[in-house]
């Protein structure tokens, strides 16, 4: 059964309820494989995200970080053997390009591992995402990027939604005619487990240009 967590960013650690659910879902703890969003940057990369799992008591026998220090073949082998894959937060562009360059997306889709993504990582887990200066990207023109496509929706994660609801709704209106878009800020999560979708924290859904807040289920 597929299990995917689209996370925002956590101010401290996973809240108790979310940590409990993760404990239940992550039963195989042999290997945690983290995928960098800044693959040229090596120091402390993934330390924050790993600390969330550590604090929740979710420890692994092996820890691996995929970046440019590894050859493509090594990275692919780690993905195939992973118990949990964690798409790290940071630079959405660089992570997206790195996934393509190292040909990791299809392997992640085929993996039986639990897949987590925080902020940029969650965005790249989704089917498509909008790149726009109004959403914080340093670009002139709006464009839509292909993500891994673990699930058939889009994600805008770790964005100051509360103060920009009208802007976000307007900006994502066109894409929302094609697919649902989950939008969240900090301390939030969307869990996909099999055919069930669960919500933690303040998460909104934009569908066919309409936006509404979702009820928490975790």
Per-residue pLDDT tens digits for 109-167? 999 999 999 999 999 999 999 999 988 888 888 899 999 999 999 999 988 777 788 88
Query: Quick one: average pLDDT of 42-53?
Result: 85
State the Cα–Cα distance between residues 191 and 67, nearest whole angstrom.
Answer: 26
- The pLDDT-based confidence of 100 (bands split at 50, 70, 90) is very high
pLDDT of 42 above 90: no
Position 41 pLDDT exceeds 80: no
Question: Residue 94 and residue 39: Cα distance in Å, rounded?
Answer: 8
Res 16: pLDDT = 94
| pLDDT-derived band at 23, boundaries 50, 70, 90 | very high
| Helix (H) or strand (E) run with residue 87 in it | strand 84-87
State the average pLDDT over residues 45-64. Answer: 95
Across 67-76, average pLDDT: 96
Report the pLDDT value the prediction gives residue 154, as an integer from 0 to 100: 98
Across 9-23, 29-43, 88-102, least confident range: 29-43
Buried b (16+ CB within 10 A) or exposed e, 131-145: bbeebeeeeeeeeee
Query: What pLDDT sits at residue 159?
Result: 80
Contact (Cβ atoms closer than 8 angstroms) between residue 182 and residue 161: no
Give, in degrees to the nearest 5, the angle at Cα 20 between 15 and 26.
120
pLDDT at 43: 60
Alpha helices in 65-186 (DSSP H): 72-81, 92-101, 105-110, 120-125, 165-171, 173-176
Mean pLDDT, to the nearest integer, of 50-69?
A: 96
- CA dist 205 and 172 (Å) reads 11
pLDDT class for 44, splitting at 50, 70, 90?
low
Would you place residue 50 in the very low, low, confident or very high pLDDT band (cuts 50, 70, 90)? Answer: very high
- Domain 3-213 belongs to what topology? Rossmann fold (3.40.50)
Q: How many residues does this entry show for the chain?
A: 218
10 Å CB burial of residue 203 (0-12, 13-18, 19+) is buried
Checking if the pLDDT of 3 tops 80, the result is yes
């Amino acid at each position: 059964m597929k299990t995917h967590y689209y996370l925002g960013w956590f101010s401290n650690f996973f809240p108790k309820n979310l940590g409990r659910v993760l404990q239940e879902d992550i039963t195989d703890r042999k290997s945690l494989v983290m995928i960098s969003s800044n693959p040229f940057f090596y120091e402390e990369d993934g330390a924050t995200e790993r600390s969330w799992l550590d604090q929740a008591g979710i420890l692994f026998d092996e820890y691996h970080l995929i970046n440019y220090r590894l050859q493509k073949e090594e990275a692919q082998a780690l993905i195939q053997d992973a118990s949990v894959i964690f798409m790290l937060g940071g630079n959405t562009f660089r992570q997206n390009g790195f996934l393509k360059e190292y040909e990791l997306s299809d392997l992640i889709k085929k993996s039986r591992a639990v897949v987590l993504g925080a902020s940029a990582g969650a965005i790249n887990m989704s089917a498509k995402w909008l790149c726009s200066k109004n959403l914080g990207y340093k670009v002139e023109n709006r464009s839509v990027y292909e993500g891994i496509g673990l699930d058939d929706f889009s994600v805008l994660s770790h964005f100051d939604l509360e103060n920009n609801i009208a802007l976000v709704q307007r900006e994502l209106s066109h894409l929302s005619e094609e697919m649902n878009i989950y939008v969240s800020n900090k301390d939030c999560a969307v869990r996909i487990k099999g055919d069930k979708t669960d919500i933690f924290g303040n998460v909104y859904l934009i569908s066919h240009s309409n936006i509404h807040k979702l009820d928490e289920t975790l």
